[in-house]
């Protein structure tokens, strides 16, 4: 049985064709730890993509590793970690892995928006706030204005904005990293650039923080093949934008199909949908998995009646909605 991979928010599209040509070009340099001219060219391109100076960019083997470096940095500065919740579970796991606890600031019930009163109450210069914008798993954008950024950076010692899905939302806080001395933006090539397997992520912040945070990861941790892949992807921005457009079209089509089944999905600014279910999400996830369709469900009581479904090919999206429709019919017949 072919598995429909709708559980990891991967891209259903292949990487740009420029990726393989760039990788082939650098294969003969794999005897070296580091190819300076490749990194220089990549940083030049990334600097023009992000509209920030090279000194504000640091590379990591996936944004997950960037988050781990950030956890270590916060620990060294005695900054207590606070995350909005529900949010990216990975961040909490990485913190726990490093022996660090995380406090939560809950989003508003049902609409999953930032609760500024709660943030004001917990805010402190001795804390670092993590938030994914757009948020995972809720798929919505939490803020897209300078006032909120002002508010957050004045309340917390460090503000970490995870923009893994930036290319789908079009909003970035990155322009603020030179204005605020405590803002860090984390991004990845895993989603819009279709390069999850290459493991390339980056941090945007002021030069001083960039260097400080970079001390918490190993030297040469982004491999030459990964860098060459990311360079290929970055040289083909048109292809990335085409993919983003297609994913958004497929996402809205999937949303309409889900709504036709009488279910509610939040307005998404990502490559996935967060869908409210009439039964425990994990029960649906288990039944769908038996049919070869992998999706994400949660044990957390706050969101146990939700599922997260990555936008896939039209074929897999239909396979998912048809299987879901059948499960809901079965349930109403049994009930």
Ligand X SMILES: Cc1ncc(COP(=O)(O)O)c(C=O)c1O
User: Closest separation between CB of residue 90 and ligand X, Å?
Assistant: 6
> Is residue 162 close enough to count as binding ligand X by CB under 6 A?
yes
User: Closest separation between CB of residue 15 and ligand X, Å?
Assistant: 14
> Is residue 56 close enough to count as binding ligand X by CB under 6 A?
no
Nearer to ligand X, 226 or 321 (CB): 226
Nearer to ligand X, 56 or 188 (CB): 188
| Paired residues of 97 in beta bridges | none
User: Closest separation between CB of residue 2 and ligand X, Å?
Assistant: 22
User: Closest separation between CB of residue 199 and ligand X, Å?
Assistant: 7
Q: Please choose, from the candidates 157, 327, 298, the residue with its C-alpha nearest in 3D space to the C-alpha of residue 309.
A: 298
Contact partners, residue 62, CB within 8 Å, separation at least 6: 188, 190, 199, 200, 201
d(CA 278, CA 263): 8
Nearer to ligand X, 12 or 201 (CB): 201
Count of positions on this chain that bind ligand X (CB under 6 A): 14
CA 89, 152, 213 angle in degrees (round to 5)?
60
> Is residue 62 close enough to count as binding ligand X by CB under 6 A?
yes
Nearer to ligand X, 23 or 132 (CB): 132
Is residue 161 within 8 A of residue 194, CB to CB? The reply is no
Q: Please choose, from the candidates 331, 218, 201, the residue with its C-alpha nearest in 3D space to the C-alpha of residue 277.
A: 331
Nearer to ligand X, 100 or 325 (CB): 100
The tokens describing 128, both together, are 């670092």
Contact partners, residue 215, CB within 8 Å, separation at least 6: 73
d(CA 329, CA 325): 6
Nearer to ligand X, 201 or 281 (CB): 201
> Is residue 196 close enough to count as binding ligand X by CB under 6 A?
yes
Task: Name the segment binding ligand X (CB under 6 A); options: 62-70, 106-114, 202-210, 226-234.
Answer: 62-70
> Is residue 136 close enough to count as binding ligand X by CB under 6 A?
yes
Quote the strand ranges of 41-126, DSSP E. 57-60, 80-85, 102-106
> Is residue 64 close enough to count as binding ligand X by CB under 6 A?
yes
Is residue 213 within 8 A of residue 232, CB to CB? The reply is no
Cα distances from 43 to residues 126, 187, 193, 227, in angstroms, run 32, 14, 16, 10
> Is residue 167 close enough to count as binding ligand X by CB under 6 A?
no
Question: Which one among 190, 194, 229, 321 touches ligand X, defined by CB under 6 A?
Answer: 190
Question: Which one among 85, 88, 94, 112 touches ligand X, defined by CB under 6 A?
Answer: 88
Residue ranges binding ligand X (CB under 6 A) = 9, 62-64, 88, 90, 132, 136, 162, 164, 188, 190, 196, 201
């Amino acid at each position: 049985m072919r598995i429909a991979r709708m559980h990891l928010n991967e891209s259903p599209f292949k990487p740009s064709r420029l990726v393989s040509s760039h990788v082939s070009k650098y294969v003969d340099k794999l005897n070296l730890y580091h190819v300076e001219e490749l990194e220089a060219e990549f940083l030049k391109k990334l600097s023009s993509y992000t509209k920030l100076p090279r000194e504000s960019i640091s590379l990591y083997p996936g944004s997950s590793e960037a988050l781990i470096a950030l956890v270590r940095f916060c620990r060294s500065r005695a900054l207590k970690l606070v995350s909005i919740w529900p949010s990216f579970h990975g961040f909490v796991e990485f913190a726990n892995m490093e022996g660090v606890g995380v406090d939560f600031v809950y989003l508003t019930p049902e609409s999953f928006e930032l609760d500024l009163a709660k943030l004001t109450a917990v805010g402190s210069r001795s804390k670092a706030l993590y938030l994914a914008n757009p948020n995972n798993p809720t798929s919505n954008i939490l803020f897209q204005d300078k006032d909120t950024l002002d508010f957050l950076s004045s309340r917390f010692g460090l503000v970490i904005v995870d923009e893994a899905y930036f290319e789908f939302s079009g909003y970035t806080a990155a322009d603020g990293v030179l204005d605020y001395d405590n803002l860090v933006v984390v991004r990845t090539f895993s989603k819009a650039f279709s390069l999850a397997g290459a493991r390339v992520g980056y941090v945007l912040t002021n030069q001083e923080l960039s260097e400080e945070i970079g001390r918490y990861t190993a030297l040469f941790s982004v491999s030459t093949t990964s860098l060459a892949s990311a360079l290929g992807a970055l040289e083909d921005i048109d292809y990335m934008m085409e993919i983003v457009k297609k994913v958004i079209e497929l996402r809205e089509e999937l949303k309409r199909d889900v709504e036709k089944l009488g279910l509610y999905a939040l307005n998404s600014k990502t490559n996935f949908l967060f869908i409210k279910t009439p039964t425990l999400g994990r029960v649906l996830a288990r039944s769908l998995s038996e049919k070869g369709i992998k999706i994400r469900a949660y044990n957390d009581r706050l969101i146990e009646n939700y599922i997260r479904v990555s936008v896939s090919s039209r074929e897999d999206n239909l396979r998912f909605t048809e299987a879901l429709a059948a499960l809901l019919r079965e349930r109403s017949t049994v009930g």
